[in-house]
């Protein structure tokens, strides 16, 4: 099982200019100030309007938004050897620039088992896990959240016309026609 406080690669925190050294300090602040924590996880490669809409709706679900990004290695496992298009650092910075996230982190490279997911939820105790309608394993996620006092909330419907995968495929098609 992953030791999240030591294995998460934290990069940026934006919350009214307040800086936190690590996830533990952020979670202490949240507990001391009784803030509602919303967690989102994802790849967020080739950032597009649906990503922005998703994060905007997730932010509305509580006081603090924690965004946990999949590492580059995990993205290759999940999406294939040509992904991600943008590095984990670029993806994190793109989300930070929106000003919606209060804390951002990159999940450990080995973050893949149900036990890892449950350990993460147990550690941070989010009040809400915000997901899109197309998120996989919704029933499993909801079960884990309920076990630790949280709720799963679908904050955005599925838009089949917009996805990073579709955008990349369109780019490849256009490139093939040009060359």
Instruction: Assign domain 4-178 to its CATH architecture.
Output: 3-Layer(aba) Sandwich (3.40)
Q: Is the pLDDT of residue 1 over 50?
A: no
Rounded alpha-carbon distances, angstroms, from residue 46 to 49, 50, 94, 104:
10, 11, 10, 17
Spell out the alpha helix ranges (H) of the chain.
4-7, 23-32, 49-59, 72-79, 88-98, 114-124, 138-147, 164-178
**Nearest residue to 12 (alpha-carbon basis) of 102, 85, 87, 123:** 102
Tens digit of each residue's pLDDT (9 = 90 or more) over 100-144: 998 999 998 888 888 888 999 999 999 999 999 988 889 999 999
**Contact, 70 vs 112, CB < 8 A?**
no
- In angstroms, rounded to a whole number, what is the distance separating the alpha carbons of residues 102 and 161? 29
Helix (H) / strand (E) element for 68: namely strand 64-69
Q: Where are the domains of the chain?
A: 4-178
8 backbone dihedrals φ, ψ, rounded to 5° = -70, 135
Q: Is the pLDDT of residue 12 over 60?
A: no
Q: How does residue 178 score in pLDDT terms, banded at 50, 70 and 90?
A: low
**Contact, 57 vs 71, CB < 8 A?**
no
């Amino acid at each position: 099982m992953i030791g999240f406080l030591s294995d998460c690669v934290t990069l940026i925190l934006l919350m009214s200019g307040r800086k936190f050294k690590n996830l533990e300090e952020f979670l202490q602040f949240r507990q001391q100030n009784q803030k509602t924590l919303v967690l989102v996880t994802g790849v967020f490669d080739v950032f597009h309007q649906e990503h922005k809409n998703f994060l905007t709706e997730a932010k509305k679900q509580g006081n603090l938004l924690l965004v946990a990004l999949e590492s580059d290695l995990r993205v290759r496992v999940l999406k294939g050897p040509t992904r991600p298009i943008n590095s984990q650092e670029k993806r994190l910075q793109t989300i930070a620039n929106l000003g919606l996230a209060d804390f951002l982190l990159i999940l450990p490279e080995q973050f893949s088992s149900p036990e890892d997911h449950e350990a993460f939820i147990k550690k941070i105790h989010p009040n809400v896990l915000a997901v899109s309608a197309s998120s996989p394993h919704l029933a499993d996620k909801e079960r884990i959240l309920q076990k630790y006092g949280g709720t799963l909330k679908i904050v955005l419907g599925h838009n089949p016309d917009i996805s990073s995968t579709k955008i990349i495929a369109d780019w490849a098609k256009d490139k093939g026609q040009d060359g």
